[in-house]
Amino acid sequence: MSFYLSRIFELLFMPPGLFIFLLFLTIVLVKKVVLIKRLLLFQMLLIYVLSISTTTHHLYALLETISPLTTQQIKTLDNDVIIILAGGIKARAKEYNRPDVGYFSLLRLRYGAWLQKQTGLPIIVTGGIERGGMTEAELMKQVLQQEFAVSGNIFVEGQSSNTLENAQFSQQIMAQQGFSKPLLVTSAFHMPRALLAFQQMGKTITAAPTGFQHSEIDYLPGDFIPNSNSLRENYLALHELIGFCWYKLRLQGISQPPAKQEAVKKAIK
């Protein structure tokens, strides 16, 4: 049920559905010409703000607050497992004639494979969304072995459908294998929400963010020109900011009695 509610929320309150929804309300509900003009002006400004790279820089600055690991930090890590979070799956890649990992999954796998070769640690890949009979995690394992030549142990968690479930089901594998200090790999903009979920395990989590989007802004003229790429990136940033606030709000109940905890977990799923 929550899956459909989240999709409805995205349709109504995230671009481009937000723009369509506002235009619909303006046409149907507003009768005064002056008010219609003002609302259309507001919507035009909203579309503009969400379509420029200046906004992109500021939104990702709010999300990408965790620095990448340094070479020295990697040399002194005392973690015992690497956890790589899935970041999407494509139903069919024409060139391979089968499902394939998504863009963000590939970025995370590349960095996770590099870390594995620096540390020799086993890996847990986590992601249960399925396309063409294969889960994200199963595809991730294939890519690690066949394309990045990772030869160590790779454990597959293929039940989860969101970040909180990534943490919950990965914890089960960690308990079975005796792991206690995970090195968490995900996109830099996703890391704050991922840490919120994984810190509920009561373990020491080391963040290993990758795929940074934010960079220093020079406020060049081109940064104020609307473009479709910035609109997409701003959508992802807004989606993540809302998701972070949602997790933070709901996970406050984890410190409550067991009955309350169970209610919170069900609400997040």
- 82 with 120, same domain: the answer is yes
Other CB atoms within 10 A of residue 76 CB: 7
Percent of the chain past pLDDT 90, that is, above it, reads: 69
Q: Is the pLDDT of residue 269 over 70?
A: no
- 46 with 103, same domain: the answer is no
- 103 with 31, same domain: the answer is no
Q: So what's the pLDDT on residue 263?
A: 38
Overall domain count for the chain: 2
- Does residue 89 lie within any of the structural domains? yes
- 78 with 163, same domain: the answer is yes
**Closest alpha carbon to 208 in 83, 122, 63:** 83
Question: Which range among 28-42, 46-60, 202-216, 252-266 shows the weakest confidence by mean pLDDT?
Answer: 252-266
The mean per-residue pLDDT over the stretch 134-161 comes to 96
Pull the structure tokens for residue 30. Answer: 């507003």
- 176 with 97, same domain: the answer is yes
Please give the residue range of the domain that contains residue 7: 1-51
- 46 with 75, same domain: the answer is no
**Three-state DSSP string of 55-119:** HHHHHHHHHCCCCCCCHHHHHCCCCCEEEEECCCEEEEECCCCEEEECHHHHHHHHHHHHHHHHH
Q: CA–CA separation, 209 vs 111, rounded Å? A: 9
- 114 with 47, same domain: the answer is no
Q: CA–CA separation, 53 vs 165, rounded Å? A: 33
Q: So what's the pLDDT on residue 128?
A: 96
- 39 with 134, same domain: the answer is no
The mean per-residue pLDDT over the stretch 116-136 comes to 96
Q: So what's the pLDDT on residue 256?
A: 45
- 43 with 80, same domain: the answer is no
- 78 with 205, same domain: the answer is yes
- 194 with 106, same domain: the answer is yes
| Residues linked to residue 155 through DSSP beta bridges, in sequence order | 124
Q: So what's the pLDDT on residue 23?
A: 86
Q: Is the pLDDT of residue 127 over 70?
A: yes
- 97 with 205, same domain: the answer is yes
